Amino acid sequence: MSVLVTNIGELFTGDEVRAGAAVVTEGDRIAWVGDAAAAPDADERIDAGGRVVLPGFVDSHTHLMFAGDRSAEFAARMAGEPYTGGGIRTTVAATRAASNAELRASAGRLAREALRQGTTTIETKSGYGLSVDEEQRCLRLAQEITAETTFLGAHVVPAEWAHDPDGYVDLVRGDMLAAAAPHARWIDVFCDRGAFDADQARAILLAGRAAGLGLRLHANQLQHGPAVRLAVELGAASADHCTHLDDADVDALAGSDTVATLLPGAEFSTRSPYPDARRMLDAGVTVALATDCNPGSSYTSSMPFCIALAVREMGMTPAEAVRAATLGGARALRRTDVGVVAPGARADLVVLDAPSHLHLAYRPGVPLIHRVLHNGVLQ
């Protein structure tokens, strides 16, 4: 079945802003994009009523596979306690105790919540199981939600391995990876203070690559360190967070295919300084925006919220932020079929109840999502 989306006030394709455009979808693909006056006929018609049409958002970094709640930890942080990452172990205990049905319901609710806010492609990670069986279980359940699943056995060292972190690294790159790899597209490591060092991260990522997984890295979130440089050196698809960078890090990213995925929900929720997106964009770094949705450091599934933060706090223009939330996210997942409105791309469109993409940052916190077309199906 074909659908003509017409009377579009502004079409944000991911690359450019067009006026007077129309879009035709055929099944789950975009079939045609061009001037409305030249639009071909279609079986059905959606009148956008002068609203802006965008690609569906691509949220390339989330942690949806968890149980439990850490609102008390958030409250304590807002009362002045620092964020350390140690609260991850609280979620590990709750996740291990949860049934498949509970995990499925919780992750499914968050994925639907994201879709209602315009996210039509979502990546999600394991990382709250931290044993061979639990990591595999979380990835199997994650596959029910998305094809973009990431093995994050190296999130933190679980309590039962605290006496032998290198023994845990061997488990992650050995039996745990073997159990996880059939259910994952990517492998990720939290390479930062209180988590894994660069040598440990390198060993795990190289094992993941040998098992056929693509590479991503939690890099330079809590302090400056070697993780961004490691991501570039290993050709990772994405270095995520990039909050503490020196000039050499920025140059390395700019000269690479590694995307800098910025997660301003984490800085918001931990009351920390934001990454300097302006500096990265000016240096030629490809930037993505994602939510980092997780119960500890960024419990938001809202890409519009992250766009508003990126504009207000990180020096991005509204157009740069929307591009980073669509095309940038697609690049961070090495996808060419999402994050754009172009013939052949997946028919994932968002219609905002606004005349232009500027309103995503101009009207923060306002539910602007009017319609979502996902795989060609009106939600």
Residues in the annotated binding site for N-formimidoyl-L-glutamate = 128, 294, 296
Quote the least distance from Cβ 218 to Zn ion, whole Å: 5
Q: What is the DSSP string of 58-124?
A: EE--B-----S--HHHHHHHHTTPPP-STTHHHHHHHHHHS-HHHHHHHHHHHHHHHHHTTEEEEEE
Kindly identify the residues of this chain, within the stretch 251-270, that bind Zn ion according to CB under 5 A. Answer: none
Residues in contact with 159: Cβ distance below 8 Å, sequence separation at least 6, in sequence order: 89
The annotation places the binding site for 4-imidazolone-5-propanoate at 70, 128, 155, 221, 297
Kindly identify the residues of this chain, within the stretch 282-301, that bind Zn ion according to CB under 5 A. Answer: 292
The annotation places the binding site for Fe(3+) at 61, 63, 218, 292
Whose Cβ is closer to Zn ion: residue 10's or residue 292's? Answer: 292
Whose Cβ is closer to Zn ion: residue 13's or residue 270's? Answer: 270
Query: Quick check: 123 binds Zn ion (CB under 5 A)?
Result: no
Distance from C-alpha of 94 to C-alpha of 253, rounded to nearest angstrom: 37
Whose Cβ is closer to Zn ion: residue 155's or residue 374's? Answer: 155
Quote the least distance from Cβ 267 to Zn ion, whole Å: 12
The answer to whether residues 172 and 205 touch, using CB atoms and an 8 Å cutoff, is no
Whose Cβ is closer to Zn ion: residue 148's or residue 292's? Answer: 292
Which two three-digit tokens encode residue 113? 């919540």
Whose Cβ is closer to Zn ion: residue 267's or residue 292's? Answer: 292
Whose Cβ is closer to Zn ion: residue 123's or residue 292's? Answer: 292
Size of the site for Zn ion (CB under 5 A): 1
User: Which helix (DSSP H) or strand (DSSP E) does residue 165 occupy?
Assistant: helix 165-171
Quote the least distance from Cβ 125 to Zn ion, whole Å: 7
The dihedral through the CA atoms of 74, 78, 80, 84 has a sign that is positive
The annotation places the binding site at 61, 63, 70, 128, 155, 218, 221, 292, 294, 296-297
Quote the least distance from Cβ 354 to Zn ion, whole Å: 30
Quote the least distance from Cβ 272 to Zn ion, whole Å: 14
Distance from C-alpha of 92 to C-alpha of 68, rounded to nearest angstrom: 9
**What order do you get walking across the sheet with 238-241 strand by strand?**
57-59, 119-125, 148-154, 186-191, 214-219, 238-241, 259-262, 287-289
Kindly identify the residues of this chain, within the stretch 41-80, that bind Zn ion according to CB under 5 A. Answer: none
Q: Which residues pair with 4 in a beta bridge?
A: 24, 45
Quote the least distance from Cβ 204 to Zn ion, whole Å: 16
Name the closest residue to Zn ion (Cβ).
292
Q: Which residues bind Zn ion (CB under 5 A)?
A: 292
